[in-house]
Amino acid sequence: MLDTDNNKQSQPQRSWRQKNDQTDIMSGLLRIIYSSVPLSLIAILANSTILSIVQWGVIAHTTVLTWFGITNSLSLVRLGFYFKFKRLDPEEDIPVFWARLSLIISAASGLTWGAVAIWLFPADDLVHQVFTAFVIAGMCAGAVTTLSPILSSVYVFILCAMLPIVIRFFQAGTDINHAMAAMSLLFTLMLLSTSKKLNYTIRESLLLRHERVIAEETIQQQAHYDSLTNLPNRRMIIGRLKQEIARSVRHKHIGAVLFLDLDHFKTINDSLGHGVGDKLLKQVASRISQRMREEDTAARLGGDEFIILMSEVGDSAVEAMDNVMTLAEIILHLFDEPFFINEHELHVTVSIGIALFPLTESSPDQLLQKSDVAMYEAKQAGRNTIRAFLPEMQKTVDDRRATEKGLRRALAKDELELYYQPQVDADNRIIGLEALLRWNHPARGVITPEEFIGFTENTSLIIHIGDWVFNTACKHLAELDSGEELTMCINVSPRQFGEASFVDKVNKVISTTGVNPNNIQLEITEGMLIKDVETAIEKMQLLKSIGVSFSIDDFGTGYSSLAYLKRLPVDILKIDKSFVLDIDRDENDAVIVETIIAMAQHMKIDIVAEGVETGQIMEYLKSAGCRKFQGHLFARPMPFNKLLTRFPELKKPYPGAKVIGIGSS
């Protein structure tokens, strides 16, 4: 089946190669022509000067000067194009524009010299007539050497320059003039013939040189690429790995080597033959190559062993290993589908070993050896699996993977729960609730998001969790008779906010639960706004148009929020608790908080201070102008049922509820 496909493709490939060869040769011909421009212009200047001086006494001075000016003005134009041509990339093919330009300029130049036979041809002075013909013939002879690489260019120059002088000699009427006309015509034919032969010689030379380059490239291909799969071979991957190790040390990032070995490949070779085995290796190489990033390299070491070199996979060992494990799992799943070869359906698996660099001083050979060892550990673990060379790193990765699997189970088995922490005003009345995620782990108990939510940002899992949080918070909000005063504050992750369907999802949940969108406040971080501020503004305005409000969480911990804040439709800034906790003891924190409050007041944006744990902190914030607070001084986060027990007023028409003081739970 593969051979048939290759045969179908061979003819288009040959056509493409022939077309590519012709393009290379044409580029070479154009480079020869344009390289001779300076010498041609010097010859034109010298001959036009001499001809003008000689004809000065027999031709009107105005005519001589006009012709001289036109001829050398054209030379200046050619010089300008020459310098522009010189700036072209010497490794790139020359655009067809330059071939057309060569033809046009050759015709124009030929016409200026043909004009000599019209403007500078004395009617009754045979000596000057012969001299004129001599100069034109010399220019045409020179054109043969400089323009012959492009046959059309040299033909048009010769014909435009020589035919007028032939005609003028015939028109003169004397026997000697007729003889000169015949000789000039014969000379023209000789020049055309010589140009054609020279053009053929130049083309043949370029073709031979091109074929030599192709041959050298073929040798390089055979030296650095595997002939069966066309992937880089061991020699090339060693060289690239050496470069990547040096680059990773210089730029302080981490790369990885994945060692792949097909499981039970020998059995396939022995039972079905090496022909089937070779075709299997081709298909394996194709599947692997299709899933690589552009900056990565897949190679075949030999037999059924493959290498994947990944550059810049992370700045820390844990991040790098997590990213590499993601790719390794994708590679494993590439083998889920069977391979079809010669009517055989082959189910093949692969074992993968991983080694990172430059965690220790390692040569390319040492790294390949480490990844090879890790691959054999994967074989011993039962095949069709992944192992990393560093045991402690493998344990970390396993823990993170176990957490991810646990979270997927938690979503399916209703182990996630929302806790709520009240927000209060200056009179201790509840004005809002922040929904906070908790994981009721069957073995570890209650786990806060700080322990698990970070790594989910790089997976689709954060979308599912975010959807669950928003839907659950709105369901709880629907159980509260909150009027329009109580705000439900719901955190939104960057990936969740970045979804194209985010606004539609919010609208759907609001419609399904029947909550008032005026009671919903979405908490977003500074970072997610800065990445694509225009899209963020568009989404925020769409949601604000139905009543949803927005707050920026942990304000002051980002980098560029002030540059965009005036453009964002934000209602609330939440001062991060790291600035609030020591506000009464740290002058720097106090200055930061006072600045944020003053700025927000000036921009007519509300403020909520997080992390309020003592009465002194609250009084300080009040004196600075803050009127909304959140923290343990008022209440700790608690489950929804406990919230309703603690604050039964939330179930009634909401006039505001007095909150119990410090440390109550």
Please indicate, yes or no, whether residues 422 and 500 belong to a single structural domain of this protein.
Answer: yes
Assigned domain for 623 exists: no
Domain of 643? 405-574+635-650
Residues whose CB is less than 8 angstroms from the CB of residue 540 and which lie 6 or more positions away in sequence, other chains included: 550, 568, 569, 570
Please indicate, yes or no, whether residues 215 and 258 belong to a single structural domain of this protein.
Answer: no
Q: What pLDDT, on the 0 to 100 scale, is given for residue 560?
A: 46
Question: What is the DSSP pairing of strand 254-262 with strand 297-302?
Answer: unpaired
Please indicate, yes or no, whether residues 320 and 355 belong to a single structural domain of this protein.
Answer: yes
Query: Pick the residue with more confidence: 299 or 295?
Result: 299
Indicate the residue among 363, 389, 415 that finishes a domain: 389
Assigned domain for 52 exists: yes
Q: What pLDDT, on the 0 to 100 scale, is given for residue 396?
A: 59
Structurally, the chain folds into a number of domains equal to: 3
Q: Is 297 helix (H, G, I), strand (E, B) or coil?
A: strand
For range 415-420, the mean pLDDT = 95
Q: How confident is the model at residue 654 (pLDDT cuts 50, 70, 90)?
A: very low
Q: What pLDDT, on the 0 to 100 scale, is given for residue 527?
A: 61
Q: How confident is the model at residue 84 (pLDDT cuts 50, 70, 90)?
A: very high
Please indicate, yes or no, whether residues 513 and 641 belong to a single structural domain of this protein.
Answer: yes
Assigned domain for 584 exists: no
Please indicate, yes or no, whether residues 415 and 349 belong to a single structural domain of this protein.
Answer: no
Q: Over 90: is that where the pLDDT of 212 sits?
A: no
Assigned domain for 482 exists: yes
Q: How confident is the model at residue 74 (pLDDT cuts 50, 70, 90)?
A: very high
Please indicate, yes or no, whether residues 74 and 149 belong to a single structural domain of this protein.
Answer: yes
* Interatomic CA distance for residues 444 and 450, integer angstroms: 15
Please indicate, yes or no, whether residues 264 and 345 belong to a single structural domain of this protein.
Answer: yes
Assigned domain for 193 exists: yes
Indicate the residue among 389, 413, 441 that finishes a domain: 389
Indicate the residue among 187, 219, 251 that finishes a domain: 219
Q: What is the pLDDT of residues 571-625, one digit of tens each?
A: 999 988 888 888 878 888 888 889 889 888 888 899 999 999 999 999 999 999 9
Length of the chain (residues)? 665
Q: How confident is the model at residue 18 (pLDDT cuts 50, 70, 90)?
A: very low
Assigned domain for 518 exists: yes
Q: What is the pLDDT of residues 344-368, one digit of tens each?
A: 899 999 999 999 998 765 788 888 8
Of 419, 476, 483, 432, give the one whose Cα is nearest residue 606.
Answer: 432
Residues whose CB is less than 8 angstroms from the CB of residue 588 and which lie 6 or more positions away in sequence, other chains included: none
Please indicate, yes or no, whether residues 208 and 244 belong to a single structural domain of this protein.
Answer: no
Please indicate, yes or no, whether residues 412 and 447 belong to a single structural domain of this protein.
Answer: yes
Q: What pLDDT, on the 0 to 100 scale, is given for residue 292?
A: 82
Please indicate, yes or no, whether residues 205 and 262 belong to a single structural domain of this protein.
Answer: no
Question: What values do phi and psi take at 157, rounded to 5?
Answer: -65, -50
Please indicate, yes or no, whether residues 563 and 429 belong to a single structural domain of this protein.
Answer: yes
The domain that holds 277 is classified in CATH as 3.30.70.270
Assigned domain for 395 exists: no
Question: What is the DSSP pairing of strand 430-441 with strand 445-447?
Answer: antiparallel
For range 467-482, the mean pLDDT = 91
The domain that holds 565 is classified in CATH as 3.20.20.450
Q: How confident is the model at residue 135 (pLDDT cuts 50, 70, 90)?
A: very high
For range 478-497, the mean pLDDT = 85
User: How many other CB atoms are found less than 10 A from the CB of residue 123?
Assistant: 10
Of 52, 58, 56, 48, give the one whose Cα is nearest residue 122.
Answer: 58
Assigned domain for 26 exists: yes
Q: Which of 10-14, 57-61, 162-166, 451-455 has the lowest mean pLDDT?
A: 10-14
Q: How confident is the model at residue 397 (pLDDT cuts 50, 70, 90)?
A: low
Please indicate, yes or no, whether residues 520 and 474 belong to a single structural domain of this protein.
Answer: yes
